[in-house]
Amino acid sequence: MSNEQPAGSDGARTARRSRINATVVLVIGLPLFAIVASVGTAVVAVTRGDPVLPDQYHWEGDKLDHDFALSQLAARRHVSADLRLQPAQGSCRVDLSIDGAPPQELDLTLIHGSNASLDRQMRFLRNGASSSYTAQCAQIPSATWHVQLADGQNTWTFREDVIGDLDNVKLSFGTLAPAGTQGRVE
């Protein structure tokens, strides 16, 4: 037997040793990467965590509870309203349907979906003994609106989101606004 090797076999062995096996890289590399990423996430969480809640945080919860209670009162009284906001005619009108005596005044708050300068607050006064209310109003653009209707003494409140024109909108628990608008009760 001879110890001679074929020509070029040392080069082939060297080439095989220098190639990296992809399976070995995945088996070792992925868990190693996961460990490094976990340590990095823990460092970020410890050094840049959320601030402590303010001392007055419970007050916000009390306000939300109060809002929900006012909405429940409106639901118990089966409040619904037809908004006819037609500023071209110089006035806006609300026809209210409610169990029990209707209030003397209604407060309507319109909150624009993206431009706070378009927000509006209107006070509607009752027309005699009817359940119809009127107020003066300016031009109201078609947009996404958060509508809140409340009695003048704030004993109940009603909220709904409306998309579109507000010249003929029906606000009612569990129903959608008319064609061209989209409402959702909160």
What share of the chain in percent tops pLDDT 90? Answer: 25
pLDDT of 31 strictly over 50: yes
Structural domain includes residue 69: no
Q: Write down the mean pLDDT value for the chain.
A: 80
Question: Which of 152, 168, 161 minimizes the C-alpha distance to 182?
Answer: 161
Confidence at residue 170, expressed as pLDDT on a 0 to 100 scale? 84
Per-residue pLDDT, 133: 92
Q: What percent of the chain has pLDDT over 70?
A: 79
Q: What's the half-sphere exposure (Cβ side, CA atoms, 13 Å) at 94?
A: 30
Number of domains in the chain: 2
**160 to 18, 22, 26, 27, 150: CA distances (angstroms):** 69, 58, 54, 55, 12
Domain presence at residue 88: yes
The CATH number of whichever domain residue 113 belongs to comes to 2.60.40
Give yes or no for residue 37 having a pLDDT over 90. yes
In a domain, 36, yes or no: yes
Comparing CA positions, the residue from 123, 79, 124, 125 lying closest to residue 101 is 79
Find the mean pLDDT for residues 166-178: 64
Question: CB within 8 A of 85, min separation 6: which ones?
Answer: 92, 93, 137, 140, 166, 167, 169
Mean pLDDT of 162-185: 61
38 assigned to some structural domain:
yes
Residue-level pLDDT at 177: 39
